[in-house]
Amino acid sequence: MKVLGFKLEIETQTNSNADPFIELLIALRTELRTQKLFALSDKIRNDLKALGVIIEDSKDGTSWHWE
């Protein structure tokens, strides 16, 4: 590929415009979990995963990153 002048790079998905909305959905999901509305909380997690957002829950809270 170098001979042809092409450079291979692994592209990571980042969309800083979407980040505040994802943070908002994560906060909403956290509130739903507090209220024990797990079905709706899981739906948010699954829908975000379908969009390429991975949510990780830990004892320190929830974090997320692009797949």
- Whether 14 is covered by a domain: the verdict is no
Check the CA dihedral 49-65-14-9 and report its sign: negative
Domain membership of residue 25 as a residue range: 19-66
- Whether 58 is covered by a domain: the verdict is yes
- Whether 39 is covered by a domain: the verdict is yes
- Whether 9 is covered by a domain: the verdict is no
**How many domains are contained in the chain?**
1
Backbone angles phi, psi at 44, to 5 degrees: -60, -45
- Please give the Cα distance from 13 to 36 (Å, whole number): 32
- Whether 5 is covered by a domain: the verdict is no
Q: Which residues of the chain have pLDDT under 50?
A: none
pLDDT at position 57 is: 94
- Whether 51 is covered by a domain: the verdict is yes
- Whether 7 is covered by a domain: the verdict is no
Q: What CA–CA distances, in Å, run from 55 to 1, 26, 42, 50?
A: 36, 8, 11, 11
